[in-house]
Amino acid sequence: MMAIMERIQVFLKTLTAGDPLGRTDLLMWSVILLGSMFACCLAVFFLTMYVFRRQRHSDLPILPTNRKSLWKTPHPIPTYVFGQPRRWMAFRTRNLGLVRNALGVTNAEVCSWEQGLCKATERNLFITPPIRGWVLVFGHFLPNPSDDVDAFYGFMRNVSSVVGEVQFFCMDVVMREHAWVRLIDGNVVRSYAWSESTLWNEGRNSSAEISLQMHAFDYGFQASEIPEHELQEKLDHNTNQVHALAARWSLDPLRVEPKDFASEFGLTGEMDRLQVG
């Protein structure tokens, strides 16, 4: 510090004495000053960008760190906890925030899987902790292809273009409605949806469908083309095999065990139906 002060004093004396070297020192100090100002501007710019990015992601709750507890049990989750999910989605990712953003979930909160499944019976969705490289999503507010298959098609393509591989399954044992859909990067790999008629049939039958003897009717199929009891048997078989198909494509929710969870905590939040249309 003393050396810098002495250098400044010598510079001032030289400058006031009219020495030509003073002009050289002035130029040198000007370059140093401009360089310092440039460095400060860069530092302020990067600091501003860092704060801006932090603010963009500040609305995503921070998942608590894992703790030793009894939730990692060797027993499957009881069927009465999951219920018999009529609709669910599977995402090949470990990023819960990515899934939340793709689905347009708002007011997200950290929750345990018990809390998440309870809220999934209301307006909320439950985004599970990662399970063997997959994230499952449950909730009655998930779109139903039988409501508007065109809107459902657009919704699935949009979600897949954000996340990558996305699968959808639905089943209704009473109405015999069922669907299984798989997309990768916004492209349909395989899809089939039935509700009194074929709503969507795209892509080749997967090897899993063939081995499970699932039947996909073509567009324009008329129920009168085959005996009614044969049609009902095929529809019942399809509906009953949806979980088995999910197990081969990704995960069967009814076979998930708490010890499979990468974390004890998932996310719950509201889904706006306007996101689907």
Q: What is the pLDDT of residues 232-250, one digit of tens each?
A: 999 999 999 999 999 999 9
Q: What is the C-alpha to C-alpha distance for residues 44 and 39, in angstroms, rounded to an integer?
A: 9
Check residues 79 and 259 and name the one with the higher pLDDT.
259
Task: For residue 180, report the phi and psi dihedrals to the nearest 5 degrees.
Answer: -145, 130
Q: Is the pLDDT of residue 216 over 50?
A: yes
Q: Which of 127, 64, 120 is nearest to 91 (CA)?
A: 127
- pLDDT for residue 254: 86
If asked whether residues 9 and 127 sit together in one domain, one would say no
Identify the residue with better confidence: 77 or 143: 143
Which comes out higher in pLDDT, residue 108 or 60?
Answer: 108
* Same domain (yes/no): 19, 108: no
Q: What backbone phi and psi angles, to 5 degrees, belong to 63?
A: -70, 130
Q: Are residues 111 and 228 in the same domain?
A: yes
pLDDT given for residue 66 in this prediction: 47
Same domain? For 43 and 141 the reply is no
Let me know whether 113 and 38 are in one domain.
no
Distances (CA, A) of 102 to 57, 125, 208: 14, 13, 27
Can you give the three-state secondary structure of 141-203, one letter per residue?
CCCCCCCCHHHHHHHHHHHHHHHCEEEEEEEECCCCEEEEEEEECCEEEEEEEECCCEEEEEC
Supply the pLDDT for residue 201: 98
Q: What's the pLDDT at 80?
A: 45
Pick from 5-14, 30-39, 257-266: least confident: 5-14
As to burial, measured by CB atoms within 10 angstroms (0-12 exposed, 13-18 middle, 19+ buried), residue 155 is: buried
Mean of pLDDT values over 5-13: 57
> For residue 67, is it within any domain?
no
Three-state DSSP at 227 gives coil
Q: Which residue has the higher pLDDT, 19 or 219?
A: 219
* Structural domain contains residue 219: yes
State how many domains the chain has: 2
Instruction: With respect to residue 271, please indicate whether it lies within any of the assigned structural domains.
Output: yes
Q: Say if residue 277's pLDDT is above 70.
A: no
Quick check: 35 pLDDT over 90?
no
| Residue 66 covered by a domain | no
Per-residue pLDDT, averaged over 147-175, amounts to: 96
pLDDT at 61: 52
Phi, psi dihedral angles at 191 (to 5 degrees): -150, 140
Pick from 240, 183, 190, 173: nearest CA to 213 = 240
pLDDT of residue 33: 60
State the Cα–Cα distance between residues 198 and 195, nearest whole angstrom: 7
Find the helix or strand (DSSP H, E) in which 74 lies.
none
How many residues appear in the chain? 277
The mean pLDDT value for 13-42 works out to: 58
- Write out the residue range of the structural domain in which residue 114 sits: 79-275
User: pLDDT (tens digit, 9 = 90+) per residue, 109-127?
Assistant: 998 877 888 888 778 899 9
DSSP state of 123: T
Same domain, 88 and 176: yes
Does residue 181 surpass a pLDDT of 90? yes
Residue 209 pLDDT greater than 70, yes or no: yes
Q: What is the mean pLDDT of residues 99-118?
A: 89
pLDDT number for residue 112: 83
Mean pLDDT on 44-70: 50
User: In which band, very low, low, confident or very high, does the pLDDT at 223 lie, cut at 50, 70 and 90?
Assistant: confident
92 vs 166: CA distance, rounded Å: 7
pLDDT at residue 161 is higher than 50: yes
**Whether residues 177 and 213 fall in one domain:** yes
Residues 86 and 218 in one domain: yes
Domain assignment present for residue 62? The answer is no
pLDDT value at position 238?
A: 97
The tokens for 1 are 């510090």
Dist. CA 124–CA 25, nearest whole Å? 69
pLDDT, position 55: 44
Containing 237, the helix (H) or strand (E) segment is helix 228-240
Among 257, 227, 239, 276, CA closest to 105: 276
Average pLDDT over residues 17-39: 57
The token pair that represents 70 in the structure block: 């009894």
Percentage of the chain lying above the pLDDT 70 cut: 68
